[in-house]
Structure 1
Amino acid sequence: MSAPSPQSARRTVRITIVLLFTAWLVDYADRLVINLVLPSLGAEFDLSRGQQGLIVSAFFLAYALCQIPGGMLTDRYGAQRVMIWALLAWSVFTALTGFAWSFAVLLVMRFAFGAAEGVFPPAALKVLVERTTPEERMGANGLIMSSNAVAGVLTPLLVAPLIAVFGWRSAFFSTAALGVFALITVRMWLPAPLPRTEPETRTAGRRTGGVLRLGVIWRFSAMMFGYSAIVWGLNTWVPTYVSEVHGVPLASAGALVAIPALAAAGAIIVGGRISDRLGGQHRKVIVPSMTVAAAALLLMAFSTSLTGFVVFGTLASVAVSLCYMPILAVPLGGLAAEDVGVGSAVIVFGGQVAGMAAPPVIGALADAFSFKVAFASLVLGAAIATVMALLTPQDAASFRTATGVSDLPTPVKDHS
């Protein structure tokens, strides 16, 4: 296959970024909706904060369990195909959640929704890897994953008024429609992969079992766990906190949540650019950023004013969001192409375990003690991420050494 022209390659990268941004935006909006409707669900079904947290955790349990199978499916059947089926399935279950009539049904629907979304991240990451060069990958991924923070801005601003007028069920119907839109755009316009320009690589024990036994992959997964524990602890409970403790109406609470989310969007993009410039070296970003995040979380938790809570919460969100791309940079640069699906799934798996654990734990701590204690406990996430940053390879070359990856010359076929 002849190499594409630079203009064609740039066009492929740009279209891929736009389409993946759209798909991730809908993905994240779909899962954020539940946080906005928790007060309504609690009132309608007479649920404690712990039970409300379990509704969120049901999603993350399935989401976490399906990460590695999703990576296996991606490596076997192709990234684009798996991503399209994930979009279709999660849109169906999002719509069905709007018909829930009991706590048990909500748990089942959120579990099914989580399973459908769980196969998406490894497929999306492999779609990106297939359509970018290593030198631009983290910058492109930073732009794409800023969609999560953008969804954090738009979802409360658009969905909270919708809930106030039409009720909580309307939120799920509307986001399901967005999922169908994302599916159609990806199906119609996702460009073909670029020809591979990096050296062919081989991982020791390259089959799935070999990748899963690599301890270094699990250390990156633990790093993602620490990051995500903070993100989902805040995303789940901040709307409830500002509404119940400070008496802010739901629509206004959504606007307040949008402030740190908007700042986080910029931080994710910056983190991707820094990762590309450093060629990895995540320790240089994660250690200072998580130190700032820990201090800001404590100041936020014990702030007596709403203004202080928002200011310190925004600072914590920015510091944490700077770490997202650096966590992924070295593994995506060092994994063999054949192992990107499973390897990235293991790393994302750690984040989903945190998403499963943090909401009910924070809710239970708020019930048993106070929101101050609950939010202060998120400092543990910063500590875990910092320790793992110190215990992992700092560039793609050392990652390959740790995982047994060797660069191989691309074989030349004998046409005689």
Structure 2
Amino acid sequence: MTMESERESPTRIRYHVIGATTLAAVMLYLDRICIAEIAKLKEFRQSLDLSDEQVGMVMSAFFFSYALAQVPAGWLSDRFGARRMMPIYIAVWSISTILTGFATGFAMLLVVRLLFGLSQAGCYPTAGSLVKRWIELPRRGTASSIVSFGGRFGGAIAPLLTAWLLKDYLSWQIVLALYGLAGLFVAVYFWRIFRETPLDHPACNAEERELITRFDSPDEGGSSAAFPPILTLVSSGTMWMMCALQFGVNIGWVFLVTWLPTYLQDVKQVDATIGGLMSTIVLFAGIGGMLLGGPLTDICTQRLGTRWGRSLPIAGCSTVALCAYLSCLHLESAWSFVIAASIVAFMTDMSVPAVWAYMQDVGGKNTAAVFGWGNMWGNFGAAVTPLLVPIVLKKWDHNGDWHEAFYLFSAGYLVAALCALGINAQRKIS
């Protein structure tokens, strides 16, 4: 018998790790998106005595704290390990979800949502870092798309599931409590499944370890720096392009997860349950794009290299999303609008794996911190949009058709498409 025949087949622990991370992403977005469905309830607004502007502030507060905590949370995972930090992040945001149901007024609700954003900030930077450590280079785009799929799946089911539970069964406080308790179980499950590296996992054999690491450069390992690489990030022109890109994308995309239920109800005169179904359809369209986006950037990278294999998918997807939003200016029926919004969701999510892979390409040993830096600026865009929409509508939208808001969303995708052409995954963030 030859030595080759005696070699074991690689174990598949990396798939269990990606599965646990994907489940965490499901809860990340389920807990995040359900508030948009709850916020349109008269009972919610009346019980907390909230105005439209205060509802916008509550939704925006999450994105501001989420954005500001991205780099610190990512660095904490780089420094102290994903196995320790990820369950903490999941547990704290799950408890915050439960506490949202106990809010007695605007001030308490605002504080809880700020805490919710702080704790959720660490999930995707940590996930991006562990994908880099657990998945071989040619498959990282696909693995990133699977984890991101989990987030979009959680977000897609949130409107319909939440509307269904609220309409026929439970109060909004009980729904939040159930979501929070489910998240606590996920935190425990992740801790049991995950280890920092393939070398640390007792069930991962030598063949799987070799498979994962064979494409990595020799300088990819080592412990993280004592502090986040802020100066290096600030001095990187290509990283600033990525930051502007994410800012623009979220200016356009966040409408789909904040004001869309309100738009369908107030402008298109859609029943609440049908509106929940429509929102779910839009977000489910994103799932299809997410699953295709990973193989797309992997194939483009194999054929064009990392420079254009990351850049072109993002630029192309942002351009199509821009055109879809502009088409909304000429659509009368609710269902035709849903088709256009679904195209926006599909194209946005198709570009996400390329964004993740870019930050893994340039991040080195501080991938989570680099991921957090890009996400921070993206979520600044997400934070200002819930505040801008009421202002834009009040100042310029005199006929109530929301066209001026769609010009704002389209401008975000224009910025994203232009900046995507300027990113370069070959320039490492040392």
TM-score by length of 1: 0.89
Match of 2:420 in 1: 389
- Bigger Cα displacement from structure 2, 18-27 vs 254-263: 254-263
Whether contact under 8 Å (2:261, 2:275) holds in the other structure is: yes
For 1:163 and 1:312, locate their aligned partners in 2 and report how far apart those are by CA, in whole Å. 28
In the other structure, the counterpart of 1:335 is: 363
1:69 to 45, 67, 72: 72
Residues 6-40 of structure 1 deviation map (CA, whole Å, 9 limit, x = unaligned): 531xx122112211110000011111011011112
CA 1:5–1:386 in structure 2 vs 1: closer, same or farther (change >3 Å)? farther
Confirm or deny that 1:212 pairs with 2:233. Answer: yes
| TM-fit CA distance, 1:301 | 4.1
| Equivalent residue number for residue 257 of structure 2 | 235
1:301 touches 1:373 (CA, 8 Å); kept in 2?
no
Return the offset for 1:192: 5.3
CA deviations over 1:253-283 (Å, ceiling 9, x no partner): 1111111211110101111111111224233
1:299 aligns with one of 327, 333, 349? 327
Identity %: 25
SS at match of 1:7: coil
Moved more, 168-177 or 30-39: 168-177
Partner of residue 205, structure 2:
none
Distance change in 2, residues 1:353/1:238 (3 Å): same
1:120 alignment partner in structure 2: 123
Confirm or deny: 8 A CA contact 2:247 2:377 kept in the other structure.
yes
Q: Secondary structure at the match of 2:103?
A: coil
Structure 1 residues 357-372: aligned runs within 5 Å: 357-368=384-395, 369=397, 370=400, 371-372=402-403
Q: How far apart, CA to CA, are the structure 2 residues paired with 1:84 and 1:111?
A: 19
Contact kept? 1:152, 1:261, Cα under 8 Å: yes
- Superposed CA offset, 1:138-158 (max 9, x none): 101101101222123211121
The number of residue pairs the alignment matches comes to 392
- One-letter code aligned to 1:182: V
Which deviations, in whole Å up to 9, do the C-alpha atoms of 1:228-276 show, x marking residues without a partner? 2222122111111112223323222111111121111010111111111
Tell me how far apart the structure 2 counterparts of residues 331 and 153 of structure 1 sit (CA, whole Å). 25
1:312-347: CA deviations, max 9, x gaps? 1111221222211122222212321x2112111111
TM-score normalised to the size of structure 2?
0.86
Whether the 8 Å contact between 1:83 and 1:120 is mirrored in structure 2 is yes
- For the 8 Å contact 1:233–1:375, the answer to whether it is kept is no
Q: C-alpha separation between the residues in 2 aligned to 1:117 and 1:127? A: 16
- Structure 2: where are the runs of 5+ without partners? 1-6, 199-208
Cα distance in 1 for residues equivalent to 2:121 and 2:130: 16
Which residue of structure 1 aligns with residue 377 of structure 2?
350
Question: Counterpart in 2 of 1:375?
Answer: 406
1:144 to 142, 147, 150: 147
Residue deviations 1:183-222 (CA, integer Å, cap 9, x gap)? 121012225522544122279x976234333322232122
- Does residue 178 in structure 1 map to residue 179 in structure 2? no
Q: Which residue identity does 1:365 align to in structure 2?
A: V
SS state at 2:427 partner: helix
Contact 1:260/1:314, CA 8 A, preserved across alignment: yes
Alignment partners' CA distance in 2, 1:106 and 1:21: 28
Q: Give the residue type in structure 1 aligned to 2:28.
A: D
RMSD of aligned residue pairs (Cα, Å): 2.1
Q: 1:154 aligns with which of 153, 157, 160?
A: 157
Pick the aligned partner of 2:170 from 166, 170, 178.
166
Match for 1:341: what amino acid?
A
Unaligned runs of 5+ in 1: 406-416
User: Is this contact kept in 1: 2:26–2:153, CA < 8 A?
Assistant: yes
Q: Are residue 25 (structure 1) and residue 56 (structure 2) matched?
A: no
**Contact 1:223 1:385 (C-alpha < 8 Å) held by counterparts:** yes
**1:89 partner letter:** V
Q: In structure 1, give the amino acid aligned to 2:185.
A: F
Q: Does the CA contact (< 8 Å) of 1:91 and 1:179 recur in 2?
A: yes
1:193 lines up with 2:197 in the alignment:
yes
